[in-house]
Amino acid sequence: MNVIVTDYAAVTALGSSLEELWQGLLLGKTAIQPVQRFPSSHYRSNFAACIEGLSPSGKGSMTHDLLNRLASQVKDVPPDATLITATTKAGIDNLEKLKRGTPSDRNDILLSSIPESVSSTFGLKDVGFNVSAACASSSIAVARAAALIRHERVDAVLVCCIDLVTEFVFSGFSSLGALSASPAMPFDKNRSGLSLGEGAAFILLMSEMRAQREGRPILGRITGWGISGDAFHLTAPARDGCGLIRAIRKALGISQIGMEEINAVCAHGTGTIHNDSMELAAFHSIFGARKPSVYSVKGAIGHTLGAAGGIEVALGVRSLSEGLIPPTVGLTSPEEAAEGMVSSHLQEFGGDYLLTTNSGFGGVNSALILKRGISA
């Protein structure tokens, strides 16, 4: 059973729509700026990619405003679609308000608040469930959705992912020493950490039979997926990329294609020393002497945590349809292992397949293989 991407949308600090985000990426723009939302002088960094004008609604979390911005772009969502959401911290901004004595809705702090809000916003019959698997949350949600459709459990799934930049999250990454004092520089030999970002994405997946029956566009396909846990360290990846390698090989197996058919890779590419070197080690292990075009969007929109994978799937589908690889913003001097793979320039690429990867705390890794939206 083929898994079809029939619609997508995104909101990030680089644009209020996927189109604005895409055009900003092609131009090499960045939304990483000094933080204005809360005092940051006593943290390791004062940079993040925050969405302009995002605000709480009364006692509610900023997630409601962000979700409404996302929903304004979407039409014709089937009410019988199964719902899978992804977030790491939900409305954690309400915990901050609660601790400071500001009126807040405690329910927004719970992860369960996200599927409830999404279901209500899009008029779904299904309340769904949330995936919280660190920074691989939404790519794992897409994998789960694709598996449900492939095995004919359901014929339509809405995946919605969302996460915020809050002082709670910012202070946590600062205490871990993970934040860069300057905007993130993915795969650069002088990189020193990540920059946080926030955003949301909407991806509607269907079986090919239902998509054709309803006359929906075939924007792209999810052909393979893999998930692994390397259990190496609480916050650091296995240095040799063994967990990511397993996830990629699993995705290739489900896709029933060889690594030579992958011509582009949307990497996790956070800009931290260990994540980027781990990914490059995994890519060299998988592709050998081949050097597919590899890129990261986190130097442009920051690390959007649980929303990262979903945003990157939407961008990957767009990249395939356009035959373009956006520049890796923040890259000036590629580290040795990235040379010939990662570029700060816009690139053209051919072929029908793109690999997108994500990794997170606890050693979780995910890999998705996307196919151009053409007839099988």
* Calpha distance 173→165 (Å, rounded): 11
Q: Are residues 229 and 181 in the same domain?
A: no
Instruction: Look at the block and give the residue holding tokens 């050998």.
Output: 288
Bridge partners of 159? 84, 203
Q: What is the pLDDT of residues 186-211, one digit of tens each?
A: 999 999 999 999 999 999 999 999 99
Q: Are residues 329 and 366 in the same domain?
A: yes
Which of 316, 320, 249, 255 minimizes the C-alpha distance to 286?
249
Range of the domain at 345: 222-372
Q: What does pTM read for this prediction?
A: 0.96
| Domain finish residue from 182, 213, 244 | 213
| Domain finish residue from 187, 213, 239 | 213
Q: Are residues 188 and 228 in the same domain?
A: no
Q: Are residues 96 and 175 in the same domain?
A: yes
Q: Are residues 38 and 179 in the same domain?
A: yes
Q: What is the pLDDT of residues 278-298, one digit of tens each?
A: 999 999 999 999 999 999 999
Counted domains in the chain: 2
Tell me if 45 sits within 8 A of 179, measured CB to CB: yes
pLDDT at res. 375: 45
Q: Are residues 245 and 361 in the same domain?
A: yes
Tell me if 273 sits within 8 A of 191, measured CB to CB: yes
Bridge partners of 222? 370
* Calpha distance 69→63 (Å, rounded): 10
Tell how far CA 6 is from the center of its chain. 18
Which of 129, 123, 118, 270 minimizes the C-alpha distance to 280?
270
Q: What is the pLDDT of residues 118-174, one digit of tens each?
A: 999 999 999 999 999 999 999 999 999 999 999 999 999 999 999 999 999 999 999
Show the tokens assigned to 223: 């052909």
Q: Are residues 232 and 332 in the same domain?
A: yes
CATH number at residue 88: 3.40.47.10
| Domain finish residue from 213, 247, 279 | 213
Q: Are residues 143 and 46 in the same domain?
A: yes
Q: Are residues 14 and 33 in the same domain?
A: yes
Q: Are residues 288 and 234 in the same domain?
A: yes
Q: Are residues 62 and 96 in the same domain?
A: yes
